[in-house]
Amino acid sequence: MRDYTKFYIDGQWVDPIQPKTLDVINPANEEVAGKISMGTAADVDKAAKAARKAFATFSQTSLEERADLLERIIAEYQKRYGDMADAITEEMGAPASLSQRAQAAMGLAHTQTALAVLKSFKFVEDRGPTRLVKEPIGVCGLITPWNWPVNQIACKVAPALAVGCTMVLKPSEVAPFSGYIWTEILHAAGVPAGVFNLVNGDGPEVGAAISSHPEIDMVSFTGSTRAGIEVAKNAAPTVKRVAQELGGKSPNIILDDADFQSAVTGGVRSVMMNSGQSCNAPTRMLVPGARMDEVIQIAKAAAEATTVGDPKGNAQMGPVVSEVQFNKIQKLIQAGIDEGATLVAGGVGRPDGLDKGYFVKPTVFANVTNEMTIAKEEIFGPVVSILGYQSVDEAVDVGNDTEYGLAAYVSGTDTAKIREVASKLRAGQVSINGGGGDLMAPFGGYKMSGNGREWGDYGFHEFLETKAMLGYAPKAAE
């Protein structure tokens, strides 16, 4: 049983101002795995003031000092790597193998990337007589989700630290263990007091307090579009910058000349990874209508080959994160059935042999139309919707016919055609023939998928202001 009932404020572990705890549930067995404290606006105020005080000095540190700090964080993270992976499996149900090779790995990788970017980042540029200076924006409020918990913490905290910002972090109360271990890592690495602060709590209380606090200069939020809208509304009166990475309903266009066995199987597996709980998952598979029967057989085999079970064992897919998510996914699967889509694999209920835990059947629907609920709403579970198209232009139109624009995918062998399709898709990232894994590539969305970009050097810009110093270089004497 994990007892994480203190907050981290001004370099110390402190009690919340008003004692109130929340049980954290292990989604694999529905048992209490630990407890955290639920903060209030008063805790946020205390943390924000500590961050403001620390900003006066931390913002003036040298690039070399901050690089040294990131190096120490990386060293401490490597010591705690196994603890981080175990925590993620326990808190949100990721299979142990996924936690080891991807979930925990991304936290380390983003920090290493921030260090590499920092070493060559240009904070100063001269344009004629004007000097342009990139300066830390100030105190940052960071609100992170449960589906890739330390990934999202690291891709915000590491660049914020790198450029000289201070911060208040609210990790998800559903999966808070990894955030605590992250904080212990930063403390052990010697992050100066007040630079990094952790307050647990829910969105309506702590999230709203962070978004609206006058001492917080920007807020970086990852989560649902609905919650992102609330963050923006709460931030508006203080005119702070808001960076948002929100929902997705990503199209996966498989062209007629693609290797269907590879492309369809890979598309299904990509959705099933992390139990479908990835905002950029390729959940809408678009295929030539004349080849629908062929696609159905391949997709059915891929889904039914996906093993589901104890995330501490060898299963490829664990549970979804909570009862709330489980019930939402079940409702949407039933909507697919009710609206006439062809159920190819899976369906409602738990997989056979699993009567406890929030396990969902790997589910595939075919003959889906873009007007159906399962084609429009972000399910955030292991559900693939297969849509048929008659022409490539139609595939692009259907692919773009969504309020989201986070990611898109294209498969085929004609390089010119693939690139043409990719250029027409309205999404922040387009993966070509399975291309991915570039930590320097900007990540973020069009439309209702948010604004701003994370990862690599683009992630730095979210935490910087630009100052123009006119007449910095005096005119040469005539």
| Per-residue pLDDT at 477 exceeds 70 | no
Measure the CA–CA gap between 424 and 240, rounded to whole angstroms. Answer: 33
Give the C-alpha separation, 266 to 303, whole Å: 11
Residue 474 pLDDT > 90, yes or no? no
Element (H, E) at 13: strand 12-14
The per-residue pLDDT for 380 is: 97
Handedness of CA 171, 218, 54, 81 (dihedral sign): positive
CATH 3.40.605.10-classified regions of the chain: 2-246+445-468
Residues contacting residue 364 through CB under 8 Å, at least 6 positions apart: 268, 299, 300, 303, 343, 344, 345, 346, 383, 384, 386
Give the per-residue pLDDT at 300: 98
What pLDDT is stored for residue 14 in this prediction? Answer: 98
- Per-residue pLDDT of 401-438, as tens digits, reads 999 999 999 999 999 999 999 999 999 999 999 987 89
Take residue 250 and report the two structure tokens written for it: 């990503």
CB 359 within 8 A of CB 341: no
SS3 for 440-469, per residue?
A: CCCECCCHHHEECCECHHHHHHCCEEEEEE
Q: Give residue 437's pLDDT.
A: 83
In contact, 362 and 345? CB cutoff 8 Å: yes
Q: Is it the case that residue 186 has pLDDT exceeding 50?
A: yes
Give mean pLDDT, residues 150-168. 98
CA distance 109 to 113: 6
Please provide the DSSP assignment of 231-251 as one string: HHHHHGGGT-EEEEE-----E
Q: Decide: 92 and 146 in contact? Cβ < 8 Å.
A: yes
Half-sphere exposure of 247 (CA within 13 A, CB side): 18
Q: Strand 383-389 vs strand 363-366: parallel, antiparallel, or unpaired?
A: parallel
The arithmetic mean of pLDDT across residues 210-222, rounded, is 98
CATH 3.40.605.10 correct for 2-246+445-468 = yes
Whether this prediction's pTM lies above 0.85 is answered by yes
**Which residue type is seen at 63?**
L
Q: What pLDDT is attached to residue 478? A: 47
Q: Longest Cα pair distance anywhere in the chain, in angstroms?
A: 87
Distance (Å, rounded) from C-alpha 234 to C-alpha 202?
Answer: 15
User: CA torsion 89→95→100→102, rounded to 10°?
Assistant: -100
Average confidence (pLDDT) over 250-265:
98
End-to-end CA distance of the chain: 76
Rg from Cα positions in the chain: 23
Q: State the Cα–Cα distance between residues 230 and 42, nearest whole angstrom.
A: 20
Contact predicate 51/167, CB 8 Å: yes
Q: What is the DSSP letter of 29?
A: T
Residue 411 β-bridge partners: 254
Q: CB within 8 A of 301, min separation 6: which ones?
A: 265
CATH 3.40.309.10 domain span(s) along the chain: 251-432
Beta carbons within 10 angstroms of residue 249's beta carbon: 27
- Asked whether the predicted pLDDT for residue 152 surpasses 60, the reply is yes
Burial tier of 381 (Cβ tally within 10 Å: 0-12, 13-18, 19+): buried
Cα 223 to Cα 136, 283, 409, 418: the distances in Å are 24, 17, 21, 30
As a whole-number percent, the residues of the chain with pLDDT over 90 amount to 98
CATH for 251-432 is 3.40.309.10
Residue 458 corresponds to which amino acid?
Answer: Y
Distance between CA 33 and CA 89 in Å, rounded?
A: 11
**Model confidence band, residue 476 (pLDDT cutoffs 50, 70, 90):** low
Name beta bridge partners: 455. none
- Residues annotated as catalytic (active site), given as ranges: 245, 279
Comparing CA positions, the residue from 157, 93, 122 lying closest to residue 357 is 93
